[in-house]
């Protein structure tokens, strides 16, 4: 089976929201807010400061979406709220704020300014498998490589993972270079005494900062590679950059026109 990806389109939103709603762990976290997820994502598609990607098993013309990846660039204020105890589930809170017109996603001007000076906060809103694809060994590595391609080159100051739904994925995320946020100490930590099962059950934050990744340059993680910022040379816009990456992946002219 070949795994491929493309930007999320409006026609995908209902299916992607259903994948999240049917997930046995992630879906219940949304509670009643799950009804507004499609509407919130449709609004998100009109924003510049986001990356919405669908991954699918390329077994034919009706290949199903097997993984949904949503990441957003957000304000400093929202990150501060996330880090303050007692914490909250990001997904339903983002749905609520976007639908009431109080979105923490950066406006285009804010996005450009933060990427020029100061740095960006990148949050992975959701990374969700369709039921039946969780054990596919090809998908995680492919998702990781495309995530790096789509987000490399930005001036990142902090990366926050999606909130983890299983102990196995928690171990993988910690092993990839992330730390667990300790609100008392005010930092991400690599070691802690809480059982992993407890961490998964409660609102939590896993992430990394530019300062963290610069502390141990001899032990660089794949997350650390995202903080290797180089000023742009060619001046391509974000949409032009995505089009070039898609072309390099072998998409046809028809597929490129849809993107």
Position 212 confidence tier, pLDDT thresholds 50, 70, 90 = confident
CA distances from 40 to 34, 45, 94, 169 (A): 10, 9, 8, 26
Task: Please check the confidence at residue 242 and state whether its pLDDT lies above 70.
Answer: no
**Whole-number Å distance between alpha carbons of 184 and 202:** 16
DSSP letters spanning 223-257: HHHTT-----SS---HHHHHHHHHHHTT--HHHHH
CA distances from 96 to 90, 99, 161, 164, 205 (A): 10, 5, 20, 20, 19
Give residue-wise pLDDT tens across range 43-72.
999 999 999 999 988 766 678 899 999 999
Output the pLDDT for position 52: 97
Rounded to the nearest 5 degrees, what angle is found at the Cα of 31, between the Cα atoms of 26 and 34? 75
Output the pLDDT for position 218: 37
Output the pLDDT for position 234: 52
Mean pLDDT score of the chain, rounded to an integer? 88
3-state secondary structure of 131: coil
Which domains does the chain show, CATH number per domain?
A: 3-163 (3.40.630.30)
Short-list 160, 164, 150, 112, CA closest to 249: 150
Output the pLDDT for position 62: 78
Output the pLDDT for position 65: 95
- Are the beta carbons of 27 and 90 closer than 8 angstroms? no
């Amino acid at each position: 089976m070949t795994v491929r990806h493309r930007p999320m389109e409006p026609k995908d939103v209902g299916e992607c929201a259903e994948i999240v709603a049917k997930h046995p762990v992630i879906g219940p976290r949304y509670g009643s807010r799950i009804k507004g997820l499609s509407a919130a994502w449709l609004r998100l598609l009109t924003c510049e400061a986001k990356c919405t990607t669908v991954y699918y098993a390329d077994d034919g013309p009706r290949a199903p979406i097997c993984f949904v990846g949503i990441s957003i660039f957000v304000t400093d204020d929202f990150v501060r709220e996330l880090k303050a105890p007692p914490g909250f589930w990001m997904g339903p809170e983002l749905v609520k704020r976007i639908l009431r017109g109080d979105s923490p996603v950066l406006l285009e001007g804010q996005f450009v300014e933060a990427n020029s000076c100061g740095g960006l906060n990148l949050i992975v809103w959701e990374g969700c498998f369709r039921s039946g694809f969780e054990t596919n060994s090809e998908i995680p590595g492919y998702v990781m490589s495309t995530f790096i391609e789509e987000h490399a080159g930005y001036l990142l100051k902090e990366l926050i993972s999606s909130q983890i739904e299983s102990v196995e994925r928690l171990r993988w995320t910690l092993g990839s270079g992330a730390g667990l946020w300790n609100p008392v100490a005010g930092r991400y930590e690599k070691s802690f005494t809480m059982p992993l099962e407890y961490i998964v059950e409660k609102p939590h934050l896993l992430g990394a900062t530019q300062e963290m990744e610069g502390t141990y340059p001899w032990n660089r993680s794949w997350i650390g590679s995202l903080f290797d910022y180089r000023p742009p040379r060619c001046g391509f816009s974000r949409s032009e950059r995505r089009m070039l990456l898609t072309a390099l992946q072998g998409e046809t002219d028809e597929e490129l026109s849809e993107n």
